[in-house]
């Protein structure tokens, strides 16, 4: 008994589990940190967006305005009245309204300091009377430049034919200069211009947000899944199950709660800050002119083989000198063209096989196409061929 007790009391194994436990905790924390670093890009790829960036509220929109006017004060760069009869008629009509007697002969008008223009503007939502908005002007005739011109009073009408603003002011546009030898220098577009704060709002749009009992939210990118997620987020915020309803892939209908009828702006503010993860249809967008290809995240391709090879024929002309034989009579030295025709069948062209159990991902597709050494132009043809074969599980949109 006396011999065995020291062996039990003085033995060191009781301290070993503490060291192993600490090491396991450190290993677990390191593994957790690596996992978070790996999952961080995946979380960023599915980042949530605010509702104010996903939907538009019914009635909260711009209104387009348009009008016809005259720009005067041009330095000989206006319309030629013989080529633009509408400019001449507008000039005569303006003079008559100002009390100028037009019974005389106006066929001798040769001015080139006036131009007929179309005036456009955008009326922001809830703009009050007296507010100023920017306008854009553009020539209709053969005017060369609007530089230094002044737009006369021009009524701007909406789609309903009512006048909502009146524009007038100095036009700011590009310029064009020409020399005696015919050389010209042009900066910007001299035949169109802009007038900052050039129109005064005279009529407000008849729309009262506070009177709404039902609001409609329109998705900027229609999608059934996104519409349902928007409705669920709103219902969760309002602690209700029937306030918001996804009508279709574009519209979400919101019944304004009774306790928020007098606070529509506050309700919209709360809804705008809610976040959802938008969903989207797998789509490949191709711009054939610039060679740009944009592919979404969910683009998948079934098992397919891709081969890319070209037949190149090269013809080269090499000049050679032909001399007559020695001691020959009547011979002359001439230069002849020797043609060399070579054909390259590109025997080194490779074939890429994309195997798929559930579909080839975008990364695998790009890696396989890059392995063939092809550029964007060839990739466009390949993507169209894959879509035609039925292997591309995405919408193909050509711009």
Residues 84 and 194 in one domain: yes
Residue 254: which domain range? Answer: 209-276
Q: What is the pTM of this model?
A: 0.63
The DSSP secondary structure of 178-206, one letter per residue, reads E-TTS-EEEES-TTEEEEEEEEEE-S---
Q: How many domains would you assign to the chain?
A: 3
pLDDT at 253: 93
Residues 121 and 197 in one domain: yes
Distance CA 52, CA 38 (A): 30
Residues 73 and 161 in one domain: yes
Segment 277-304 mean pLDDT:
79
Can you say whether residue 161 is alpha, beta or left, with left for phi > 0 and alpha for psi between -120 and 50 degrees? left
Residues 294 and 358 in one domain: yes
State the DSSP H helix or E strand holding residue 165, giving kind and residue range, or none if neither. strand 163-170
Residues 97 and 117 in one domain: yes
Residues 258 and 129 in one domain: no
Distance CA 104, CA 286 (A): 62
pLDDT over threshold 70, residue 300: yes
The DSSP secondary structure of 225-260, one letter per residue, reads HHHHHHHHHHHHHHT-SSSEEE-SSSEEEEEPPGGG
Residues 67 and 128 in one domain: yes
Residues 82 and 127 in one domain: yes
Instruction: State pLDDT tens for residues 12-53.
Output: 344 444 445 555 544 544 544 444 444 444 444 457 889 989
Distance CA 72, CA 110 (A): 14
Segment 287-293 mean pLDDT:
77
**Is residue 132 domain-resident?**
yes
Instruction: Tell me the three state secondary structure of residue 20.
Output: helix
Distance CA 73, CA 146 (A): 9
The pLDDT > 90 percentage for the chain reads 29
Residues 95 and 145 in one domain: yes
Distance CA 288, CA 23 (A): 58
Residues 75 and 140 in one domain: yes
The DSSP secondary structure of 305-347, one letter per residue, reads EEE----EEEEEEEEEEE-PPTT-SS---EEEEEEEEEEE--T
**Is residue 77 domain-resident?**
yes
**Is residue 231 domain-resident?**
yes
pLDDT at 360: 60
Residue carrying the six token digits 């008849």: 206
Residues 135 and 213 in one domain: no
Residue carrying the six token digits 């879509």: 387
Residues 299 and 380 in one domain: yes
pLDDT over threshold 60, residue 343: no
**Is residue 155 domain-resident?**
yes
């Amino acid at each position: 008994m006396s011999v065995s007790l020291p062996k039990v009391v003085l033995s060191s194994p009781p301290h070993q589990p503490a060291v192993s436990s600490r090491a396991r905790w450190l290993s677990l924390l390191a593994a957790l940190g690596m996992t978070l670093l790996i999952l961080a890009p995946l979380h960023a790829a599915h980042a949530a967006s605010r509702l104010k960036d996903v939907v538009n509220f019914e009635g909260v929109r711009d209104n387009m305005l348009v009008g016809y006017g005259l720009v005067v004060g041009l330095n000989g760069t206006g319309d030629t009245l013989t080529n633009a009869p509408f400019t001449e008629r507008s000039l005569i009509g303006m003079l008559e309204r100002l009390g100028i007697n037009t019974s005389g002969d106006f066929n001798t008008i040769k001015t080139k300091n006036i131009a007929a223009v179309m005036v456009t503007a955008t009326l922001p939502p809830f703009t009050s009377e007296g507010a100023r908005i920017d306008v854009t002007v553009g020539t209709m005739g053969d005017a060369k430049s609007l530089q230094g011109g002044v737009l006369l009073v021009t009524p701007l009408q909406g789609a309903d034919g009512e006048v909502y603003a009146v524009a007038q002011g100095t036009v700011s546009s590009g310029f064009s200069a020409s020399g005696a030898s015919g050389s010209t220098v042009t900066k910007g577009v001299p035949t169109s211009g802009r007038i900052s704060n050039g129109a005064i709002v005279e009529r407000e749009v008849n729309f009262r947000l506070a009177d709404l009992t039902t609001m409609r939210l329109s998705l900027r990118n229609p999608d059934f899944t996104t519409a349902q997620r928007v409705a669920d987020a709103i219902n969760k915020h309002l602690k209700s199950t029937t306030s918001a309803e996804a009508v279709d892939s574009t519209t979400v209908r919101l019944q304004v709660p009774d306790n928020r009828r007098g606070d529509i702006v506050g309700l919209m503010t709360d809804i705008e800050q809610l976040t959802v993860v938008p969903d989207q249809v797998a789509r490949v967008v191709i711009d054939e002119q610039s060679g740009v290809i944009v592919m979404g995240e969910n683009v998948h391709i079934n098992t397919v083989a891709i081969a890319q090879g070209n037949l190149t024929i090269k013809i080269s002309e090499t000049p050679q000198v032909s001399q007559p034989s020695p001691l020959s009579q009547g011979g002359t030295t001439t230069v002849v063209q020797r043609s060399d025709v070579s054909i390259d069948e590109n025997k080194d062209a490779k074939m890429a096989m994309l195997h798929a159990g559930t579909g080839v991902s975008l990364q695998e597709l790009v890696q396989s196409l890059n392995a063939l050494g092809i550029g964007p132009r060839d990739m466009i043809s390949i993507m169209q061929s894959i879509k035609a074969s039925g292997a591309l599980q995405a919408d193909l949109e050509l711009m």
